[in-house]
A and B are shown apart, each in its own frame.
Chain A
Amino acid sequence: EVQLLASGGGLVQPGGSLRLSCAASGFTFSNYAMSWVRQAPGKGLEWVSTLTGSGANTYYADSVKGRFTISRDNSKSTLYLQMNSLRAEDTAVYYCASTHFPGSFFEYWGQGTLVTVSS
């Protein structure tokens, strides 16, 4: 059974940093691109970032480019999102999801972790 377990969310002040993790199991992690998708409270889905299976290629939404860094450790089947210079508008539930190319769809989703940026 595929499982994606996201963690690391919490309350952080504007300008602060946070690192999210997503532990994967039930599939060959290194064979899949992985993404982060977020959802602000009461709002829709917003794609944040994608990383290919090898880690060689990264993609970022303009809203987070230069502030967020996606990475992975295939030996630990874990995906990360380093978030710096956080803003109030980054407040959201962050989901990790397995990602298929070239269709760019998200097949398996984690349960999400809530990030709240507030003073």
Chain B
Amino acid sequence: QSALTQPASVSGSPGQSMTISCTGTSSDVGGYNYVSWYQQYPGKAPKLMIYDVTKRPSGVSNRFSGSKSGNTASLTISGLQAEDEAVYYCGSYRGSSTFVVFGGGTKLTVL
């Protein structure tokens, strides 16, 4: 069982917006502004999409955005495209001993 809770799967049509949630506790998501999101295609390494809750690395489409409210972080993808179909993982800092915890991953299907 993963430390952070994500829905196992979500689906949407091209052009729609989709939000993926990531629920933790006050010891991780709620306690720090250090939530990150990763996109992973089958057989490939993860790719950083969002860091520090809302920041986008250079080269990542502005269709991807992050937010947080209390112990739940969210990744929103606007204008869904077929290429967005992948598994998305959230991660959060949890202090100097545990360091980082991940969610179980959410498979996004673009219908």
What residues of chain A have their CB less than 8 Å away from a CB belonging to chain B? 35, 37, 44-47, 50, 59, 61-62, 95, 100, 102-112
**Residues of B contacting A45 with CB < 8 Å?**
38, 46, 89, 91, 102, 105
B36 x A105 contact (CB < 8 A): yes
**For the complex, what is the distance from the CA of A79 to the CA of B89, rounded to whole Å?**
24
A105 touches B51 (CB 8 A): yes
Q: Per-residue 0/1 for B83-98: is the Cβ within 8 Å of any A Cβ (1 yes, 0 no)? A: 0000001010100111
Minimum CB–CB distance for B21 against chain A, Å: 15
| Least distance between B38 CB and chain A CB atoms (Å) | 7
Contact B46 A109 (CB under 8 A): yes
Residues of B within 8 A of A35 (CB): 100
Instruction: Select which of B38, B45, B93, B105 is within 8 A of A112 by beta carbon.
Output: B45
Q: Which of B51, B102, B105 touches A47 (beta carbons < 8 Å)?
A: B102
**Contact: A47 with B104, CB < 8 Å?**
no
Please judge, given known A-B contacts A44-B89, A110-B45, A111-B45, whether A103 and B101 are in contact too, CB under 8 Å: no
Bound together, the chains give a CA A104 to CA B105 distance in angstroms of 18
Closest 7 CB pairs of A and B: A105-B36, A109-B45, A104-B93, A105-B51, A47-B100, A45-B102, A44-B105
Q: How far is the CA of A37 from the CA of B99 in the complex (A)?
A: 12
- Does B110 sit at the interface, judged by CB under 8 A? no
CB-contacts of B65-90 with A (<8 A)? 89
Contacts of B47 in A (CB 8 A): 109
Q: Residue of A at shortest CB range from B96?
A: A59
**Docked pose: A103 CA to B98 CA in angstroms:** 14
A110 to B48: give the CA distance in the assembly, Å: 12
